Homo-oligomer: A and B are copies of this chain.
Amino acid sequence: MAAAEIFRALGDPIRLEMVQRLTRGSRCTITAISEGLGITRQGARKHLQVLADARVIALQPEGRDVLVSLEPESLDQAKLFITELERQWDVRLDALRRFVEQEHP
């Protein structure tokens, strides 16, 4: 289940903050996005790797630094997954409603 990995990547306050920063500001370096998180650069780097493994972000070396950028497709995938869950839920509720109406006319 690829969705689980994306959810997992988003399931941490620091990583979620990183993603939020990327949606607001543009792409930036690892050092830049690691500032003001209360952890070291090396610590932040591990979080970035988790996000990259789930393809929530992309890391591309550019000379001396590495550019961090958002991969919006992953967010779409996650949202679609939830939407589908809700659709199934609604289908079930509808079936239940029809059943009750049929049994108690």
Given contacts A82-B75, A86-B72, A86-B76, contact A7 B1 (CB under 8 A): no
Is B86 a contact of A79 with CB atoms below 8 Å?
yes
A37 interfacial contact with B, CB 8 Å: no
Is B7 a contact of A7 with CB atoms below 8 Å?
yes
A96 interfacial contact with B, CB 8 Å: yes
Interface size classification for chain A: 20 to 34
Given contacts A75-B86, A89-B72, contact A11 B9 (CB under 8 A): yes
Contact of A8 (CB < 8 Å), options: B12, B76, B83, B88? B12
A78 interfacial contact with B, CB 8 Å: yes
Q: Interface of A with B (CB < 8 Å)?
A: 1, 3-13, 16-17, 19-20, 23-26, 70, 72, 75-76, 78-79, 82-83, 85-86, 88-89, 92, 96
